Structure 1
């Protein structure tokens, strides 16, 4: 098991966003998280990346790293957690004044202090991998939303993370651009990347996921294989949510 989480909780003031979350993330598997707005999906993802620090809970990694958030963790431990994952944001978060290539090389060179020549070669291969070989010298404003998101995926891969995190990677895209991003993520799934994906794309989640998790009001309501959770959900709240998404009126 890549990561086991027990008793994760997170509040912002009086608002409890995550409540007693127990979760296992398997190495080389894809976990998709679904649920209505405000259910805690993005906060859970940000806790995995230490962009938000949990108030309570224990993270146990397969490499022996254990973080107990019932106590205050050190900045060094928060950094160790952050270094394990690459994050792909729904709004791309690219540097507007840097080219696609520079956006991808920034983290490995500036933060990880890796060899510039090696990083550039890696960045070029990653941009080719996501179908942007001919766009490496363009700036974000010269790229479509789908192309910008693919640069974001290449940037996350460039830091060579153990875990890839996607926060609704297609939500800011026009419908005709969604497919090109989902195709890249499907390719990563075939390469056995460990991934956690917050998504509202039911068909995509069904195709790419090893496990689907449904959240509501800060709790995990239901989880299991996609054919169970998405095709034959047991919980009424999951049934209502899927009915609304699949049959909007």
Structure 2
């Protein structure tokens, strides 16, 4: 077991966004999260890497670190927790005044205080990995949306995280650019990265995932293999969602 989450809950004021979320993630597992807008998918992802503090919930990691969000925790534990993951955002979030190479180098140098020459070499390798070796000195405004997102993936990988998090990585892209980003993610799947992917690309989720979670109303309504959740869902809410999105032949 890489990570076990029990009883996770998160509210913003009176709005309960996550309610008693329970999920186990294995090392090397690809978990896709699907569901309607406003179901809590992005908030769940942000709780995984410390961008949001849960109101309650127990996180247990493979190396023995335990975080109980109902108790006061020291800063060191929170920092260690947040550094376990690398995040790829929906809207890229690149530094506009830095080149692609500088964007990838920023985290390891500033956050991890690593050697600049070593980081540069690794950043160049990562940009080549995502097909952007010839664009490393370009600024974000000189790149397409798909290229910017691939820089975002390289930037997250540069931190050498244990867990890769993707928040709807193709939703801001034109249809013709989606494939280039999904291809990069598929290559990472082959390398056995542990990944959690919030996506509306249902077919893609079916192809790459070991586990699919369907969320609605702040709950995980159903979870299982892609065949179990996407082809033979048990819950009526899952069936209705898939019928609207992908499978009009599913009887509701």
Comparing 75-84 and 15-24, the one that deviates more: 75-84
Structure 1 residue 60 displacement after superposition: 0.3
Consecutive unaligned residues in structure 2, runs of 5 or more: none
Please say which of residues 202-211 and 75-84 is displaced more in the overlay: 75-84
Instruction: Find the counterpart in structure 2 of residue 77 from structure 1.
Output: 77
Give SS of 1:51's match. coil
Aligned residue pairs total 248
Indicate whether 1:127 and 2:127 are aligned.
yes
Q: How does 1:55-66 map to 2 (within 5 A)?
A: 55-66=55-66
Question: What is the SS of the residue equivalent to 1:92?
Answer: coil
Matches within 5 A, 1:99-248: 99-246=99-246
C-alpha distance after superposition, 1:53-97 (max 9, x if no partner)? 101011000011100001122222211111000000000000000
| Separation in structure 1 between the aligned mates of residue 105 and residue 41 of structure 2, nearest angstrom | 29
Instruction: Tell me what 1:41 maps to.
Output: 41
Residues in 1 aligned to 2:173 and 2:73: alpha-carbon distance in whole angstroms:
37
Mapped to 1, the partners of 2:131 and 2:162 lie a distance apart of 23
Following TM superposition, by how much is the alpha carbon of 1:247 offset from its aligned partner in structure 2, in angstroms?
5.7
Structure 1's consecutive aligned runs of 4 or more residues displaced over 4 angstroms after TM superposition are none
TM-score, length basis structure 2 = 0.97
Q: Note the residue ranges of structure 1 that are not aligned, 5 or more in a row.
A: none
Q: Is 2:22 aligned against 1:29? A: no
**CA RMSD, aligned part only?**
0.8
